[in-house]
Amino acid sequence: MAKSLGRILLLISFFTFAEVVAQDMDIIENNALRNFQTAESPLDRFNYFFATVNRYGSHSPYDWLDSVKEYIDRVESADDSLALNQYKLIRAQLYFDLNDFNKSITIASEVYSEKHIFDLDAKRVLLNLMDDNYAQLQMYDKQVEIRKQKKGLGLTENIAFYDIYSSLGLHRQAMKDYIRDVKPTIEENAYFDQATYNNNIGNYLRLDKRASTALANFSKAKGYIDVWSNDMSEVKTESEIINGNILRGVIEGNIGKCYVQLGQFEKAIPYLENSIAIIEENNIGKSSTDVNENVLALAESHLKLENLKMAKDYLELDLNFSSVELVLFKNRLFASYYDKISDFEKQSFYLKKNVRIRDSLELNESDINKQQLAAFIGHEEVKASRQELNRSESQLEQARLDFKKQDERINLVLISLVFTLLGFAGLVYAYLKSIKNQRIVAEQKHIIENSLVEKDS
């Protein structure tokens, strides 16, 4: 019990003091905001910001917002539209990292109207951010439109639907499409890509309530990321190392959540705790859905194990949820906790909160949007099938024309061959007739010679 208490105190310290500790350790050596401010030009600041993965190690996103606002004020007065939109895009990313998706997409949409001034790399950043925002806001029709533009610009080869299918609860269809689209693109010795692929396959299986099968994929993913991390033959950038650590944390959290599904709560707890610690260490200043899910899974595990005090400590952590589903799940866990301690008034309070949320207009509208999107995706797939059918028909028609031309060429060759053979036969006939005539002449000559001999005698 003392060991578990120590773990939770350590975890709470991560949530409460991560930024303060990071400032103490990195203020001199890794002051990302200071490096940003000392960059020579708006373009340099733009590139530095989006290239820096752990940019909140020394300062919070709010400090960044204050600094970026100063730059926006300066370039507005200088009438520099390119720099202004670069800083606005940085600001949109900051709000996204704070889970304020509505504000982020509002700013990004303003930048989008001026996207023609950006080069291809900046357009990639803008469209990816809008894609992520629409996913969080469950505005899937707009998300698909953004993906069409990414394909049109050559930023992607295809329009992916698998993550949207998963968000709609169609996890098997998502996995089927993901395997079809992604598996052929991954090389056997690309260990990081293999880890990502197997983690995603495992997650689709986990969400589809096939935890036992999912564990096999997560084990593969963990093996691949360990091999990648220990491979000294490949030089890795700081960004790649951080992303690798975050992926390892996500994989361990998914393993823990599988054990929770299987009812093996004691086995789940170490994986969930380790996952949170790894992600928090490498993702300072950003809200993480994986961390939030892991915290709630820990609370559920401790509730099932009757560790009620620890379960409540996890539930009372100040988490910034980005989805209604997680809010509903947290309220259910609170209701379960108060049921166990026989506080039925508070249990009823949390159950009623969930009823109000479920009955809210926003949730109903979300369901309608999902239905519309399902129809929209169906239409897109029908259209894609028709295009594929048209391509096939065109190919068949072209093949038929090619075959017809080839057949005509063969007929011409056969006709030529027949005439050639006839000509050759004529030559043979003439030759044979010539030989016959020569024999007749020779015989006549012989007869004449014999007649002359007899006459002389």
Q: Of 369, 368, 324, nearest to 143 (Cα)?
A: 369
Query: What is the distance between the alpha carbons of residues 214 and 262, in angstroms, rounded to a whole number?
Result: 11
Query: What is the distance between the alpha carbons of residues 333 and 328, in angstroms, rounded to a whole number?
Result: 9
pLDDT at 415: 78
Query: What is the distance between the alpha carbons of residues 77 and 75, in angstroms, rounded to a whole number?
Result: 5
Helix (H) / strand (E) containing 1: none
For 395-452, the DSSP string reads HHHHHHHHHHHHHHHHHHHHHHHHHHHHHHHHHHHHHHHHHHHHHHHHHHHHHHHHHH
Calculate the alpha carbon distances from 193 to 181, 183, 215, 357 in Å: 14, 10, 18, 39
Calculate the alpha carbon distances from 71 to 36, 67, 75, 94, 189 in Å: 11, 7, 6, 14, 45
pLDDT at 456: 63
Is the Cβ–Cβ distance between 98 and 56 less than 8 Å?
no
pLDDT at 392: 59
pLDDT at 24: 43
- Which are the contacts of 421, defined by CB distance < 8 A and separation ≥ 6? none
Backbone dihedral angles phi then psi of residue 157, each to the nearest 5 degrees: -85, -35
Q: Which two tokens stand for residue 205?
A: 């299986």
If DSSP codes are grouped into helix, strand and coil, which group holds residue 191?
A: helix
Is the Cβ–Cβ distance between 108 and 140 less than 8 Å?
no
Could you tell me the domains of the chain? 31-156 (1.25.40)
Rounded average pLDDT per 10-residue block, the chain, 457 residues: 46 48 45 93 96 88 95 90 96 94 96 94 97 93 94 91 91 95 93 97 96 97 96 88 95 98 97 96 86 97 96 92 89 95 93 84 54 57 54 65 72 76 76 76 73 65
pLDDT at 383: 54
- Residue recorded with tokens 């002051």: 31
pLDDT at 424: 75
